[in-house]
């Protein structure tokens, strides 16, 4: 082997091997487990696709799919629209822009478990911040619809700055002379946005949407702490349902099957994601 080939493999192989051992192997091991009925203390029994058949006749599982979709749709839509609005507002010289940006970044790295508990006290119906401050009596945590909205708000509080930062970077990469040329044609801001800003920003926008969708499908810590999946099953998203099946009922085979269904759903979006970022390399 040439020394150059040897060194490049030496550099790459440890990381590649790591991914094989800790991601690819568990992935297929999980797929294998989903074909069994796993019984602690007893014998594991091969049951083929029964766990998947069970998924499609399990009302709670199908409800979890619905809840997950509603959550992803709601939170991503709100975050991208508000993030874009803020990015447009910040894409100009403004006094205090640095301070405002710092303030906006804070929630991005806040511990999700803590976000869940914190919003529990914020949405608490008697003496919580929101109802107290606005003098309203919204059943944030005891009504199924509002509980889902509460989770979407908490998630949005955390992730809006992600959309904001990336979209702002996208806006700032649009060359100035494009705007200067457009200013000769029209002064209508809406026209400039629609015909100049939007087309330039589109790849970034698509990327942000897809990144947020794949990220939103992973949601776990916030519903786990804010609503515990309730009231009833109103906020029981797929990852939580799989966690419950595995870690509370020790039904490891079925839990694996549920996880793979979550994977299949998100895969649809990932294919889009890869297609749109492939050009970047």
Partner 1 sequence: MKHRMNISLRRQIDRYSFQLLLLGAALIAVLPFYWAMTLSIRDPMETFTVAGLAVPFVQFQPTLANWIEELSVGEAQRALTNSSIIALGTALGLMVLGTPAAYALARFRFRRPSNQNLILWFLSQRVLPPIVTVVPVFMIMRQLHLLDTRLALILVNITFNLPLVVIIVRQGFLDIPIELEEAALVDGANHAHVFWHLSLRLAVPSLMAAMLISIAYTWNEFLFALIISSRDAVTVPVHMAGAAGTRGIQFWFVGVRVLMAMAPPVILAVLAQRFIVRGLTAGALKG
- 81, 82, 37, 71: which is closest to 265 by C-alpha? 71
Task: State the Cα–Cα distance between residues 105 and 142, nearest whole angstrom.
Answer: 31
Least Å from the CB of residue 110 to partner 1 = 5
Identify which of 24, 25, 23, 57 has the alpha carbon closest to the alpha carbon of residue 254: 57
What are residue 45's DSSP bridge partners? 37
Q: How far is the CB of 95 from partner 1 (least distance, A)?
A: 8
**Shortest Cβ 214–partner 1 spacing (Å):** 5
Contacts of range 241-250, beta carbons closer than 8 Å, 24 or more positions apart: 241/60, 241/61, 241/64, 250/38, 250/40
The tokens for 207 are 């990327």
Output the CA–CA distances (angstroms, integers) from residue 122 to 45, 90, 108, 156, 233, in the order listed: 47, 28, 18, 15, 22
- Residue corresponding to tokens 């014998």: 43
Q: How far is the CB of 197 from partner 1 (least distance, A)?
A: 15
108 in Cβ contact with 150 (< 8 Å): no
By beta-carbon proximity to partner 1, the closer residue of 28 and 59 is 28
Work out how close the CB of 263 gets to partner 1 at its nearest, in angstroms, rounded to a whole number: 5
Helix (H) or strand (E) holding 44: none
Q: Which is nearer to partner 1, 80 or 122 (CB)?
A: 122
List, in order, residues 6 or more apart from 221 with CB less than 8 Å away.
Answer: 112, 113, 115, 116
Report, in Å, the least distance between residue 85 CB and partner 1.
7
Residue 58 DSSP symbol: -
Please tell me the distance from the alpha carbon of residue 262 to that of residue 202, in angstroms, as a whole number.
28
Residue closer to partner 1 (CB basis): 63 or 272? 272
Nearer residue to partner 1 within complex by CB, 234 or 237: 237
**Least distance CB 66 / partner 1 (angstroms):** 17
Q: Whose Cβ is closer to partner 1: residue 74's or residue 170's?
A: 170
Q: Which is nearer to partner 1, 133 or 184 (CB)?
A: 133
For partner 1, the closer of residues 144 and 203 by Cβ is: 203
């Amino acid at each position: 082997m040439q020394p150059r080939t040897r060194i490049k493999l030496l550099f790459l192989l440890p990381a590649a091997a790591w991914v094989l051992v800790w991601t690819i192997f568990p992935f297929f091991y999980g797929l294998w487990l989903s074909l069994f009925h796993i019984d602690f203390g007893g014998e594991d029994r091969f049951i083929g696709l029964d766990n998947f058949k069970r998924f499609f006749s399990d009302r709670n599982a199908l409800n979890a799919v619905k809840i997950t979709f509603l959550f992803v749709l709601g939170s991503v839509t709100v975050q991208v629209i508000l993030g874009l609005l803020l990015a447009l507002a910040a894409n100009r010289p403004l006094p205090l822009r640095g301070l405002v940006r710092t303030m906006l970044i804070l929630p991005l790295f806040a511990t999700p478990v803590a976000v869940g508990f914190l919003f529990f006290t914020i949405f608490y119906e008697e003496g919580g911040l929101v109802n107290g401050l606005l003098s309203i009596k919204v059943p944030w945590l005891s009504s199924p619809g509002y509980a889902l909205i509460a989770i979407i708000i908490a998630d949005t509080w955390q992730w809006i700055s992600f959309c904001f930062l990336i979209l702002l970077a996208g806006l700032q990469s649009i060359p100035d002379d494009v705007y200067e040329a457009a200013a000769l044609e029209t002064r209508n801001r809406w026209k400039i946005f629609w015909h100049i800003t939007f087309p330039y920003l589109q790849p970034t926008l698509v990327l942000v949407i897809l990144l947020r969708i794949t990220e939103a499908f992973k949601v776990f810590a916030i519903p786990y702490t804010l609503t515990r999946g309730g009231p009833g099953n109103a906020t029981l998203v797929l990852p939580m349902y799989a966690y419950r099946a595995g870690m509370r009922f020790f039904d490891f085979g079925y839990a694996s099957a549920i996880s793979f269904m979550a994977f299949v759903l998100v895969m649809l979006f990932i294919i889009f994601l890869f297609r749109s970022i492939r050009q970047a390399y």
